[in-house]
Chains A and B, each alone.
Chain A
Amino acid sequence: MTGRAVLRCWLALMLLLAATTASAFVPLGSLNLPISLSIAVTKALIVLLFFMELRSSRALVRAFAAAGFFWLLIMITLTGADYWHRTDARAPIDQAYQR
């Protein structure tokens, strides 16, 4: 990476940070969360591809890098498939705090 490329990445990260904080104060209802998470993914990709050099890495290194995030998505999806659709039969900790 050249110094100029690092500077460009830093500027992009700062602009995205300003955009995500500003967007959080705009009343968009349930759209705010997907917007802020999309910006977070974009920022993470800049760090992964450029600062962590995945753009110029071999496929095996990229596969190792992707594996953790892939299994994380499985964990979140399968956990959510249960919890996000429960209407009764709460876990004991949830019964302590009524909605």
Chain B
Amino acid sequence: MSERALGIQYSTPAQEREAVTLGMWAFLATEVLFFGALIAAYLNYRIWFGSDFIAAARMTKVVLGTANTAVLLTSSACMAMAVTTFDAGSKRAPVLWLIATALLGLAFVVIKGTEWFLEYREHLVPALNFDVARYGGVAEIFFVFYFCATGLHALHLLIGICLVSWVAIRIGRGSLVPGGSTTRLIGLYWHFVDIVWIFLFPLIYLAGRNG
């Protein structure tokens, strides 16, 4: 196994590791605010419109949403296994765990797409075919939030799937060796996308189920 070359701006591997980790967290902080603005808007409208807004959330597909949450949480566990086995020096195991991570991510997008299709058939897509006469204007505001939030989340997940596949290929070819940070940093991004969903799930799918 070849030695990894240290970036010329660093004097020790530990310094490089901390610098790139801080860089990734700085990027993730901007992402927290990016998705956070959407969630702040959701909370405002939920308090503003009350029961009409919450009633709209009942039209989301809670079984598919719960299944998708389980899929995404499992994908994060696979990602953590990929990082662990990679650091331990294994070459085959991290590739398999990364493939599992990417496949679970794809499964999430497919389930999400199924939901979008069902909602399209129910005329719930604002700006495309939303039936205001049937569902009302407040429900339309909820579904604007729903499609913006789940759409942006799915976009982040698709980017994550590409990155995870790229890392799997590079480890498989032997151009990524333990000691570097690439696998761990892509893992941080993947886990972050998981955390966004952890908060979107109760706000979108669990609102208004108690009545």
Residues of A at under 8 Å CB distance from B? 1-3, 6-7, 9-10, 13-14, 17, 20-21, 24-29, 32-33, 36-37, 39-40, 43-44, 47-48, 50-53, 57-58, 60-61, 64-65, 67-69, 71-72, 75-76, 79-80, 83-84, 94, 96-97, 99
- The residue in chain B whose Cβ has the minimal distance to the Cβ of A85 is B47
Majority secondary structure of chain B interface residues (helix, strand, loop or mixed): helix
B155 part of interface (Cβ distance < 8 Å): no
The one of B25, B36, B77, B188 in contact with A10, judged by C-beta atoms closer than 8 angstroms, is: B77
Given contacts A33-B207, A57-B21, A76-B40, contact A51 B202 (CB under 8 A): no
**B46 CB to nearest chain A CB (Å):** 8
- Asked if A2 and B206 sit within 8 Å, CB to CB, the answer is no
- Asked if B22 and A61 sit within 8 Å, CB to CB, the answer is yes
B6 part of interface (Cβ distance < 8 Å): no
- Asked if A47 and B210 sit within 8 Å, CB to CB, the answer is no
Residues of B at under 8 Å CB distance from A? 18, 21-22, 25-26, 28-33, 36-37, 39-40, 43-44, 47-50, 52, 62, 66, 69-70, 73-74, 76-77, 79-81, 83-85, 137-138, 141, 184, 187-188, 191-192, 194-195, 198-199, 201-202, 205-207, 209-211
- Asked if B191 and A52 sit within 8 Å, CB to CB, the answer is yes
Q: Count of A-B contacts with CB under 8 A? A: 146
Write out the residue numbers on chain A whose beta carbons fall within 8 Å of the beta carbon of B207: 33
- Asked if B74 and A10 sit within 8 Å, CB to CB, the answer is yes
Given contacts A10-B74, A76-B39, contact A61 B18 (CB under 8 A): yes
A79 to B77 alpha-carbon distance, docked (Å):
35
Given contacts A14-B70, A61-B18, A76-B36, contact A6 B84 (CB under 8 A): yes
Given contacts A37-B202, A47-B198, A58-B18, contact A1 B80 (CB under 8 A): yes
Write out the residue numbers on chain B whose beta carbons fall within 8 Å of the beta carbon of A76: 36, 39-40, 43
- Asked if B199 and A44 sit within 8 Å, CB to CB, the answer is yes
Leading 10 A-B pairs by shortest Cβ distance? A68-B29, A68-B32, A36-B202, A24-B206, A97-B137, A72-B36, A64-B25, A10-B77, A24-B209, A83-B44
Write out the residue numbers on chain A whose beta carbons fall within 8 Å of the beta carbon of B69: 17
- The residue in chain A whose Cβ has the minimal distance to the Cβ of B81 is A6
Residue of B25, B191, B209 ringed by the most chain A CB atoms within 10 A: B25
- The residue in chain A whose Cβ has the minimal distance to the Cβ of B74 is A10
- Asked if A52 and B73 sit within 8 Å, CB to CB, the answer is no
- Asked if A64 and B73 sit within 8 Å, CB to CB, the answer is no
